[in-house]
DNA sequence: TTGTAGGCGTTATCAC
DNA sequence: GTGATAACGCCTACAA
């Protein structure tokens, strides 16, 4: 009916003088095929320029060597570095990756989930979109036998799933302690949307550190942003720094906001770190190069990426007989003190 | 032989009381099927949680809705922004993207090409790896009927292929003129591997601008780097700035090298821009935030990405009867003057 | 060690 | 409008 397009195993079989099953086995290095036959078959395949059709293999074996990656955006420091590692690790383990950017839209996340299910990917590695607050689409994937690993942005509502995270509460707690240790005592906080667990945890850690240190928690000093972009950071810095009762330090839930906060502060004549200390979550490539350089918190994107792929492949290859044990893996973060909070020892 | 795993059209056919042909047509909104039937079939599909198997469709139709993207690395400014746009545009046009990082390895580029051919992607968008100097693998893809679009890093040796580039020669020429216009007259150049056309062109543009301006072209002031990383930039800056006859400006073929050059210069007490002007190819997110901010050349990654997908899809959907006309599209760049070359008007 | 034949889930050709 | 059935290219149980 349709004309066949490219060289297939039938052609190779004819060329080599064997049946298609022998060809198939030979090409897959099946133990039952003699070395001589394999050589002949492979030679014939090469002669004809045969390229195995992965689609047909996938349909026949009902499995694929493809991993779907759901991520909000590719062009931000942490995520671009995470995806970089994911792809690299997947390649090393024989998998390809389909990248799906949700742009932080719940709707698009669901659409993509359907696409990935339709593509019969072996597994999915996902970082929840900021908007996402229901999780049926993840259940759907799992019902279809697709393994899922969540990274960084997770939810306790998604059960029976490997999760790879940092301890956001503890990290924010320690970050806050660092600022306090530098002699700042009126500390503001710029949060992401707290319906995302990680932002809620960070905020809690911040508040707890203030409490432990006996410092005031001024509700006016806590601001929220949906996307923590550079512009949002500026807007919020403006708001916070125009209050009568100004803070002398600002902790932002990402590093982009920290940078725009610094830029804005300097613009209106507030010195950093002398008058205002600034610390931000997430190390960005430029954190170290800024003037002043920015104190930040490094999330182990490389380790998270590697582990995500390894755990996913582990689960994909797990014996379907026995139940796979899902872990929540918590990785260490690293506080990188730099000039933006360095109030004690002058440069 | 194998047990079927998920709901297929046979199940839906049974549930709806139609044949599989009717079901298939109904689900694809074929005009011949009555509205009533469509409703019934779709209801049945929904009831059963049917998800069409894209693999089977692909095998049957011999086409797929997947685009392969070959790129050296994801975690660099220009490329991460390019891939961001590629994915976004592809999504809008109904395609998924498989991302393949070559890590600038020719070998890996070839391996990935085979994978993409095996996956029967509809097309490939590629940025050549820095190492690549032979192109049979691209011919191979095209022989298999896979459309190819090249972006940014291209080669004249790959024929009959849409190419989307900037005018590297002209851009470097103008960048050099900018430096000269700022009063610098002893200008060094840090190049990437000139076997890549774009680096050769940039170098030519640089040399030509010096010639036109009647400035000396000191061979000692031209250095080459294989990867233009931050570390490489430092190494080369060290080399150039330790010469007896020092330049008073440096033009680097990417922005990362510009940043490390500035950092190194300041470290050894050379003032930027007063003693040394620095300009770099490729705008990075941090170029504007640095101190001093870095004069750079913006490549239109968004436009390039959009155009690449559009042209590729256009070719995929082209009537196979008539020959498709391949274009080389040259997009404008933008020089962004900032402090690092601002020697004339003091800040 | 090799061959035969049926199946994976669709689409498409041809009848009715 | 709808249905039966052969393809798409590969894998594999079973037979030899």
> In chain A, where does the domain assigned CATH 3.40.50.2300 lie?
66-166+301-331, 168-299+335-341
Q: What percent of chain A has pLDDT above 70?
A: 98
Q: Among residues A255, A269, A278, which one has the least CA distance to residue A341?
A: A278
Whole-number Cα distances in Å, A39 to A23, A26, A42, A44, B81: 11, 8, 5, 9, 46
- Residue B4 has what pLDDT? 52
Q: Among residues A282, A238, A281, A290, which one has the least CA distance to residue A261?
A: A238
Q: Where are the alpha helices (DSSP H) in B182-268?
A: 197-213, 230-241, 255-267
Contact A255, A284 (CB under 8 A): yes
Q: Which of A172-176, A316-320, B221-225, B272-276 has the lowest mean pLDDT?
A: A316-320
- How far is B88 from A232, CA to CA, in rounded Å? 23
Task: Identify the CATH homologous superfamily for domain B168-299+335-341.
Answer: Response regulator (3.40.50.2300)
Pick the residue from chain B with its C-alpha nearest to A49.
Answer: B140
Whole-number Cα distances in Å, A68 to A90, A312, A314: 11, 11, 16
> In chain B, where does the domain assigned CATH 1.10.260.40 lie?
9-52
The domain defined by A9-52 carries CATH number 1.10.260.40: yes
- How far is B19 from B144, CA to CA, in rounded Å? 35
Query: Which tokens hold the place of B156?
Result: 């004249």
Answer yes or no: is A52 CB < 7 A from strand D: yes
347 residues of chain B, pLDDT tens digit each? 344 568 999 999 999 999 999 999 999 999 999 999 999 999 999 999 999 999 999 999 998 999 999 999 998 889 999 999 999 999 999 999 999 999 999 999 999 999 999 999 999 999 999 888 899 999 999 988 899 999 999 999 999 999 999 999 999 999 999 999 999 999 999 999 998 899 999 999 999 999 999 998 999 999 999 888 888 999 999 999 999 999 999 999 988 899 999 989 988 999 999 999 999 999 887 788 777 889 999 999 999 999 999 999 999 999 877 889 999 999 999 999 999 999 876 54
Q: Tell me what the mean pLDDT of segment A225-240 comes to.
A: 91
Question: Is the CB of A119 inside 8 Å of chain B's CB atoms?
Answer: yes
Q: What percent of chain A has pLDDT above 90?
A: 80
Q: Among residues B240, B234, B289, which one has the least CA distance to residue B257?
A: B234
Q: Among residues B98, B127, B89, which one has the least CA distance to residue B314?
A: B89
Name the band, by pLDDT with cuts 50, 70 and 90, for residue A219. Answer: very high
Name the band, by pLDDT with cuts 50, 70 and 90, for residue A228. Answer: confident
Q: How far apart are the first and last CA of chain A?
A: 78
Answer yes or no: is B48 CB < 7 A from strand C: no
Q: Among residues A260, A213, A210, which one has the least CA distance to residue A240?
A: A260
Answer yes or no: is A27 CB < 7 A from strand C: no
Q: Tell me what the mean pLDDT of segment A54-71 comes to.
A: 95
In terms of pTM, does the model score above 0.85?
Answer: yes
Whole-number Cα distances in Å, B191 to A138, A252, B227: 48, 38, 10
- Residue A1 has what pLDDT? 36
- Residue B243 has what pLDDT? 93
Q: Tell me what the mean pLDDT of segment A105-133 comes to.
A: 94
Q: Tell me what the mean pLDDT of segment A274-285 comes to.
A: 92
Contacting residues of A for B115, CB less than 8 Å apart: 54, 96
Other beta carbons within 10 Å of B269: 7
Q: List the single residue in A75, A88, A263 with the smallest CB-CB distance to B80.
A: A75
Contacting residues of B for A53, CB less than 8 Å apart: 59, 118, 120
What is the per-residue DSSP string for B83-151?
HHHHHHHHHHTT-EEEEEE-TT-HHHHHHHHHHHHHTT-SEEEE---TT----HHHHHHHHTT-EEEEE
Q: Tokens 């302690």 map to which residue?
A: A177
- Please, what CATH class does the domain formed by B66-166+301-331 belong to? alpha beta
Query: Which tokens hold the place of A84?
Result: 């970089």
Greatest Cα pair distance in chain A: 88
Give the number of A-B residue pairs with CB atoms closer than 8 Å: 133
Question: Is the CB of B139 inside 8 Å of chain A's CB atoms?
Answer: no
Residue A72 pLDDT > 60:
yes
Kindly determine whether residue B117 and residue A58, on different chains, have CB atoms separated by under 8 Å: no
Is pLDDT larger for residue A89 or for residue A33? Answer: A89
Is pLDDT larger for residue A26 or for residue B229? Answer: A26
Answer yes or no: is A34 CB < 7 A from strand D: no
């Amino acid at each position: 009916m349709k004309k066949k397009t490219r060289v297939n195993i039938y052609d190779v079989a004819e060329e080599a003088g064997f049946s298609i099953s022998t060809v198939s086995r030979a090409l897959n290095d099946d133990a039952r095929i003699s070395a001589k036959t394999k050589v002949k078959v492979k030679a014939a395949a090469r002669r004809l320029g045969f390229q195995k059709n992965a689609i047909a293999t996938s349909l026949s074996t009902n499995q694929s060597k493809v991993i779907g990656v759901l991520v909000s955006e590719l062009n931000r420091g942490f995520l671009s570095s995470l995806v970089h590692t994911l792809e690299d690790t997947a390649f090393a383990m024989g998998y390809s990756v389909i990248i799906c950017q949700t742009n932080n839209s719940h709707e698009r996340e669901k659409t993509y989930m359907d696409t990935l299910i339709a593509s019969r990917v072996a597994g999915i590695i996902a970082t929840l979109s900021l908007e996402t607050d229901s999780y049926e689409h993840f259940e759907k994937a799992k019902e279809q036998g697709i393994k899922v690993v969540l990274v960084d942005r997770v939810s306790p509502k998604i059960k029976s799933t490997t999760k790879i995270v940092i301890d956001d509460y503890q990290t924010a707690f320690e970050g806050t302690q660092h600022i306090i240790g530098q002699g700042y005592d009126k500390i503001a906080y710029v949060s992401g949307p707290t319906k995302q667990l990680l932002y809620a945890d960070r905020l809690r850690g911040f508040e707890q550190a203030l409490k432990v240190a006996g410092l005031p928690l001024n509700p006016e000093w806590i601001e929220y942003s949906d996307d923590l972009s550079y512009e949002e950071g500026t807007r919020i810095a403006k708001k916070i720094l125009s209050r009568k009762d100004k803070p002398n330090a600002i902790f932002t839930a990402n590093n982009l906001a920290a940078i725009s906060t610094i830029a804005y502060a300097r613009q209106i004549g507030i010195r950093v770190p002398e008058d205002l200390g600034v610390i931000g979550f997430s190390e960005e490539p430029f954190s170290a190069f800024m003037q002043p350089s920015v104190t930040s918190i490094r999330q182990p994107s490389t380790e998270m990426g590697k582990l995500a792929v390894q755990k996913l492949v582990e689960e994909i290859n797990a014996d379907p007989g026995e139940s796979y044990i899902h872990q929540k893996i918590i990785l260490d973060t690293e506080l990188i003190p730099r000039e933006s909070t360095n109030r004690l020892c002058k440069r």
